[in-house]
């Protein structure tokens, strides 16, 4: 029950009523259900799973194969395997039971997701590859795609009835999470953790009307509602304000459904294909994205969109302020910088760098001239310079940035990504995929006075820890950090930074975001006492303009992981809205 005016005029200490900083020490906190239900009854759980998948229409053969080969996997992993098998066995041979597989790939997520609930007839199946499954199966698949476990989904189906909408089902699961949470904390009051429609009704009353109506609108609105103005990028791209240009707007009204806890902060490339940011915004509680170019914070451009529910008044940058021009950031280039190269800022730092061959070609082209080169040569050189972020390192000599220069430009400590078995290529890649620390820190700075005792952070797609570094440099203590990052190289970088900066808190790192289901999240929330901030920048490679091959939009293979950010954020919201 937030008070709806989180951006009120006062400085904030008494202004928020949902700060969870009342210190819950880990030592004192009951670590419930750690070794209990999850691992104890593996046998019965397997039979249950078996029946469950067979009930969904998969053949017994496939199901047992999938379960055996994924013994330690959860139901989502097994479902994934089943879908793979079914796809491979598409050739009709040994399917005794007619296995109707609703082949909802993640790339079809949104269409199906929305088609299913829009009032218009689903004239879908333009491809006509798969037969439409039964309504029940279809809902089941959608819930699975939304990230709920099949256990959760089937219980919800049982209790709510087959005619329940997916919106209702999803809310029921949320209610179940909350109810479970209550049981864990108050075992004497509710000895039977039975899920009932009653729980659902109760939770509904507890919840904000704003959340309910938002969820409804999410489920019924079409992807590109012609009534809505498509999002426009601001020019200049300064978001809700940057340190140099004094803040125009000091107040904004967040949709009620967006108000925390927890605070959340989501990031991705600003120049995504059409409609992507509309979708992202719609899923993240209709919060208007803040588009910011990091060129207002440092010597390199970085056009990014940020969706967050943070206050936007009293922001401050980290000190010392970083160099803001190329010549300040890279003084040694000053001597060789020709007057006709008028760049003062670098373009976006990417994951690849210019080749040696290219700089050689440029050198030869320039050597034909004594003084200023011809205009067409200048244009050619400048073009390549802008494309590859080349800098002048000698007479007629251009060079790509060194990894440690990229580190510095992005606001990371020197050698942050260096050593420990990390290749040069990996460094460029990890850095290119990272936050610009000063920019993110400016947005997160408002947390300092809200959480003087430090924060618990859930960091999804952490990369090399841009958010962690930002918070640390702001002087915000990190109490517990749960970090999810697929790349081992990156996890090592964050771990080693954590140790080298003598962090007092705990760093828990996970590799696979799929592992973070409702149960695991509940465990973690119990363990740390709730998350104050959920940050994440989900993969952009299917959105980025540089991608020649697979710029598939938000439904692309990697970029669709955005939906996992939403799933987890929504789960955290649900679990924590029950109160701690």
Residues with a catalytic annotation lie at: 540
CB of 540 to DNA, least distance (A): 3
CB of 154 to DNA, least distance (A): 35
280 vs 576, beta carbon nearer DNA: 280
DSSP-derived pairing of the beta strands 397-399 and 391-394: antiparallel
Cα distance between the two ends of the chain: 13
197 vs 233, beta carbon nearer DNA: 233
Tokens of 507: 């760093």
Measured CA to CA in angstroms, residue 72 lies from 33, 55, 77, 85 at distances of: 18, 21, 9, 18
* Interface ranges with DNA (CB under 7 A): 232-233, 235, 267-271, 273-274, 301-304, 347-348, 350-352, 355-358, 379, 383, 386-387, 421, 423-426, 432-433, 537-541, 543-551, 558
Residues 438, 7: contact at Cβ < 8 Å?
no
- Compute the distance between CA of residue 44 and CA of residue 332 in angstroms, rounded to an integer: 68
CB of 544 to DNA, least distance (A): 4
Measured CA to CA in angstroms, residue 31 lies from 27, 284, 322 at distances of: 9, 30, 43
205 vs 376, beta carbon nearer DNA: 376
62 vs 391, beta carbon nearer DNA: 391
Residues 137, 54: contact at Cβ < 8 Å?
no
Classify the phi-psi angles of 460: left when phi > 0, otherwise alpha if psi is within -120 to 50, otherwise beta: beta
450 vs 494, beta carbon nearer DNA: 494
CB of 532 to DNA, least distance (A): 22
CB of 245 to DNA, least distance (A): 17
DSSP line for 484-551: E-S-HHHHHHHHHHHHHTT--SEEEEES-GGG--HHHHHHHHHHHT--SEEEEE---TTT-TT-SS--
Measured CA to CA in angstroms, residue 80 lies from 105, 142, 157, 559 at distances of: 10, 13, 21, 18
CB of 248 to DNA, least distance (A): 17
2 vs 553, beta carbon nearer DNA: 553
Q: Which residue has the tokens 């170019």?
A: 293
């Amino acid at each position: 029950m937030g008070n709806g005016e989180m951006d009120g005029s006062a400085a904030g200490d008494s202004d928020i009523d949902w700060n969870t900083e009342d210190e819950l020490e880990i030592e004192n906190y009951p670590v419930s259900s750690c070794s209990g239900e999850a691992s104890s009854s593996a046998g019965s759980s397997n039979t249950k799973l078996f029946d469950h998948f067979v009930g969904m229409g998969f053949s017994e053969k496939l199901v047992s194969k999938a379960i055996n080969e994924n013994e330690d996997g959860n139901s989502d992993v097994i479902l994934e395997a089943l879908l793979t098998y079914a796809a491979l066995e598409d050739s009709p041979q040994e399917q005794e039971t007619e296995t109707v597989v609703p082949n909802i790939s993640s790339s079809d997520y949104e269409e199906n997701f929305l088609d299913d609930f829009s009032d218009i007839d689903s004239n879908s199946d333009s491809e006509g590859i798969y037969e439409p499954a039964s309504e029940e199966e279809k809902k089941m698949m959608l819930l699975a795609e939304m990230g709920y476990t099949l256990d959760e989904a089937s219980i919800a189906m049982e209790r709510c009835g087959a005619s329940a909408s997916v919106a209702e089902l999803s809310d029921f699961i949320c209610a179940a999470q909350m109810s479970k949470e209550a049981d864990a904390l108050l075992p004497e009051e509710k000895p039977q953790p039975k899920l009932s429609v009653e729980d659902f009704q109760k939770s509904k009353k507890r919840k904000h009307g704003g959340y309910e109506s938002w969820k409804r609108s999410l489920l019924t609105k079409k992807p590109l509602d012609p009534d809505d103005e498509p999002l426009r990028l601001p020019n200049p791209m300064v978001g809700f304000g940057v340190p140099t240009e004094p803040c125009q707007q000091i107040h904004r009204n967040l949709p009620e459904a967006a108000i925390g806890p927890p605070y959340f902060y989501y990031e991705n490339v600003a120049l995504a294909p059409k409609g992507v940011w509309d979708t992202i915004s719609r899923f993240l509680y209709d919060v208007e994205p803040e588009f910011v170019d990091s060129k207002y914070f440092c010597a390199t451009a970085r056009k990014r969109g940020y969706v967050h529910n943070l206050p936007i008044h009293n922001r401050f940058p980290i000190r010392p302020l970083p160099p803001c021009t190329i010549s300040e950031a890279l003084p040694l280039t000053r001597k060789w910088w020709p007057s006709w190269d008028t760049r003062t800022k670098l373009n976006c730092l990417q994951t690849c760098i210019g080749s040696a061959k290219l700089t050689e070609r440029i050198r030869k082209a320039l050597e034909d001239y004594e003084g200023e080169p011809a205009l067409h040569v200048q244009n050619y050189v400048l073009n390549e310079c802008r494309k590859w972020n080349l800098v002048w390192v000698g007479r007629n000599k251009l060079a790509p940035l060194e990894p440690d220069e990229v580190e510095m430009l992005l606001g990371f400590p020197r050698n942050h990504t260096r050593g420990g078995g990390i290749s040069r290529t990996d460094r460029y890649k990890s850095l290119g995929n990272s936050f610009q620390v000063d920019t993110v820190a400016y947005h997160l700075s408002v947390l300092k006075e809200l959480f003087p005792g430090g924060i618990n952070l859930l960091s999804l797609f952490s990369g090399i820890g841009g958010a962690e570094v930002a918070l640390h440099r702001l002087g915000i203590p990190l109490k517990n950090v749960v970090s999810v990052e697929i790349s081992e190289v990156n996890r090592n970088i964050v771990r080693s930074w954590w140790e080298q900066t003598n962090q007092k808190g705990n760093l828990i790192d996970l590799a696979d975001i799929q592992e973070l289901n409702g149960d695991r999240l509940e465990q973690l929330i119990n363990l740390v006492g709730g998350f104050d901030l959920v940050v994440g920048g989900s993969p952009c490679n299917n959105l980025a303009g540089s991608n020649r091959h697979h710029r598939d939009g938000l439904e692309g293979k990697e970029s669709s992981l955005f939906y996992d950010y939403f799933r987890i954020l929504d789960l955290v919201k649900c679990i924590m809205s029950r109160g701690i």
